[in-house]
Chain A
Amino acid sequence: AQRVTQPEKLLSVFKGAPVELKCNYSYSGSPELFWYVQYSRQRLQLLLRHISRESIKGFTADLNKGETSFHLKKPFAQEEDSAMYYCALSGADNAGNMLTFGGGTRLMVKP
C-alpha cells in the first residue's frame, strides 16, 4: 500500500521568508514523487516531479529515501505562491498510472 502524508493543513509565512512544505510517504518499492499546485480559481496542475530534478517558480524538492520525504522548498516566498499544494506518489505496482495524493497544505504568503 502507498500513502502520502502532509502534516500541515495550513502554512502561513511572510513574503520573503523561506518556506518548506512537508511531505512524507510510505511505499515499499521505488516511488516517483510529484508536487501539484492549485491556485485560487485555477485548475490543479503539476508543479514539479522529483525525477526531473528541476526548479519551478523557485521551488525545489529533493527525494530523501532514507527519511521517505519529499519536502517542497523555496528560499523566498512570494504572495503569488499562495495556493493549495499537494504531494503525490506513484508506484511501479500500478504501472505508474495511479497517483496517491496527500491531504494538501494551504500556503498563505502574507505581505
Chain B
Amino acid sequence: DAGVIQSPRHEVTEMGQEVTLRCKPISGHDYLFWYRQTMMRGLELLIYFNNNVPIDDSGMPEDRFSAKMPNASFSTLKIQPSEPRDSAVYFCASSLGPGTQYEQYFGPGTRLTVT
C-alpha cells in the first residue's frame, strides 16, 4: 500500500481563487482526518470523517473552508475564496478504527501558498 496519498504536493495560488486539496486514504480505513500545520499554531485538526460522514468539523476555521468525502477512497478540502493567511501545510490522515488504539497514518501533506 502506498499509504495516504495527497495531491497536489504543492499549490501556489492568488488570493481570491478557489483551492481544492485531495486525499486518498489507506484502503479499508474508516476514519479520515484533515489537519493544518502552521508555524504559529502548529498542527490543528480541522475535520474528521467516519465512514464518509463528517463527525466533527469544529476545527474548520471559517465558512470559506469545506470538506467532503463522497466515497471511502476520496476526500477533498476546499477553500473558497483563498486568503494569504490560509498558507500552510495541509495533512490528511486515516486510521483503521476508532479511538487511540488505532494509529493515524499521515499523508505527505500539501504545501499551500496563497499570494
Contact = CB atoms under 8 A, between A and B. Distances in A.
Tell me whether A and B are bound partners: yes
Interface of A: 32, 34, 43-46, 49, 51, 86, 90, 94-104
Given A94-B56, A95-B99, A97-B99, A46 B43 contact: no
B90 interface: no
A86 B3 contact: no
B108 interface: yes
26 contacts: A32-B100, A34-B100, A43-B4, A43-B107, A43-B109, A44-B43, A44-B91, A44-B93, A46-B103, A86-B42, A86-B43, A90-B100, A94-B56, A95-B98, A96-B99, A97-B31, A97-B48, A97-B50, A97-B55, A97-B56, A101-B35, A102-B42, A103-B41, A103-B42, A104-B42, A104-B43
Interface string B37-57: 000011111001010000110
Interface in B78-115: 91, 93, 98-101, 103-109
Contact of A98 (B4, B42, B48): B48
B41 A43 contact: no
A46 B101 CA distance: 12
B115 to A, nearest CB: 25
Contacts of B42: 86, 101-104
Nearest to B44: A101
Contacts of A97: 31, 48, 50, 55-56, 98-99
B36 to A, nearest CB: 11
Contacts of A32: 100
A101 B31 CA distance: 18
B29 to A, nearest CB: 13
